[in-house]
Amino acid sequence: MQTINNNRRSFLKGSALATASLALTQMPAFASGFSQKVTAISLDTCKKMSAVDMAFESQMVLASKQYLTDQINSINDWSIRNLVTDIYRQPTPMVLEQLDNDNRTAVWKELLAKNYSNSDLDHFLPNQPVKQADYHAFYSAPGSGYGSHHSYPGGLATHLAANVHITNGIVNTYQETYNYKVDRDIAVAAQLLHDLHKPLVFPWLKDHSCRKENTLADTGEHHVLSIAELIARNMPAELVVATACAHQAPMTLAHQQQIAKWLDAAAIINGIDPVRYGLLTKQQGQLRLNEIAQQEGFICHIGDHDYVLSVPAVQQTLPVLRKIAHEQYAIADDDHSAFNALRNRIYSLYSAMQIHAEFSNHGEDRIKAMMLAAVQP
């Protein structure tokens, strides 16, 4: 278990410290990870920080960025590698850009007719994002909706890095244990791309929280939109199907129909025929999942199970952070913006996973010390 090497009292002395930024905490490097430096800032400074500022100050997020870059470069297929590189640099929603007003209305009507959406015409898709500098949108995005897993600036990067680590582990395990190889390019690329439209679906808001997600075809809209983006960019059917399995493995016929529904919705948004594209087949008038990239799809789904722990990690530590925010920082319960800024910085620097582990093993005082090392009241 790591320990914090700073003495809290030493940095609480002196009024100048209230606004100064000081390098305070040097946490030991992980066995194969990164050196975790934490610099204290004032609460006022924290409240003024953007999500990009927070993400790019976090050694954890930067380490995830480096790992993801290495993994993208390890993809052998140049067209897939280029696509992932482009999307991480600028997650431009080409799938939305190609929709003019007439197409948009036609898509909405078709989604409604199939019960894939229950939103009105103005809200059935997210708004076009404001273009940011290269890498900023992707690497400052949260890992999910606010209050769920990795919901902090840079959370998407840590989610993806963890998932790709796990995916590589599965690919290698199957090879070493069962003596066969899956298509690593498809398995790893599907994992790298499975949440590609979270920057679009979860933009940061003024109060430091993020947009609430709609559903599309009975799942979070980011899922259908991410698959739709791969279709818009003409990616191979195997990669699209494997990515579509992130939210459900095709274990039973009912599961296969569920995945087929997501692919059908993604095809509708693109105005393409999912059967001709090779995503689905038609059997007795019913759309069925095409039986391609099967193990890679299962692996994508298994590799996306980080949420089992990372959702409770947020939900079980938020009340602790809120209590400390109230007692140490005098943040009123209804001052959501101040609390969100504080919690974003804390999670972004340490991760909710580490906060959860430290709280489980050492209790509230440890979390208090970690928070005060990062933000001074």
C-alpha–C-alpha distance, residues 364 and 247, integer Å: 34
Q: How far is the CB of 163 from Fe ion (least distance, A)?
A: 6
> Hey, what are 10's tokens?
């030493």
- Residue 144 CB, nearest distance to Fe ion (Å)? 7
CA dihedral 329, 139, 306, 75 (to 10 degrees): -160
SS3 213: coil
Q: Which residue has the tokens 């019913």?
A: 286
User: Minimum distance from CB of 212 to Fe ion (Å)?
Assistant: 15
Q: Smallest gap, in angstroms, from Cβ of residue 86 to Fe ion?
A: 20
Instruction: Report the C-alpha dihedral over residues 264, 213, 88, 135, rounded to 10 degrees.
Output: 160
Q: At what angle do helices 253-270 and 237-244 cross, to 10 degrees?
A: 120
CB-wise, 25 or 167, nearer to Fe ion? 167
Q: What is the dihedral of CA 364, 370, 372, 375, to 10 degrees?
A: -130
- Residue 145 CB, nearest approach to Fe ion (Å): 11
Judged by CB, which is closer to Fe ion: 214, or 337? 214
Residue 43 or 227: which CB sits closer to Fe ion? 227
Q: Closest CB to Fe ion among 304 and 358?
A: 304
Residue 225 C-beta: closest distance to Fe ion, Å: 10
Tokens of 21: 């930024």
- Of the pair 185, 195, the CB lying nearest Fe ion is at 195
Q: Which is nearer to Fe ion, 300 or 338 (CB)?
A: 300
Catalog residues that contact Fe ion under the rule CB under 5 A: 195, 223, 304
User: Minimal distance in Å, beta carbon 246 to Fe ion?
Assistant: 5
Angle (CA) 206-208-214 rounded to 5° is: 85
Q: How many CB atoms lie within 10 A of CB 180?
A: 8
Q: For every residue of 282-300, which 3-state class applies, written as one string?
A: EECCEEEECCCCHHHHHHH
| Nearer CB in complex with Fe ion: 208/223 | 223
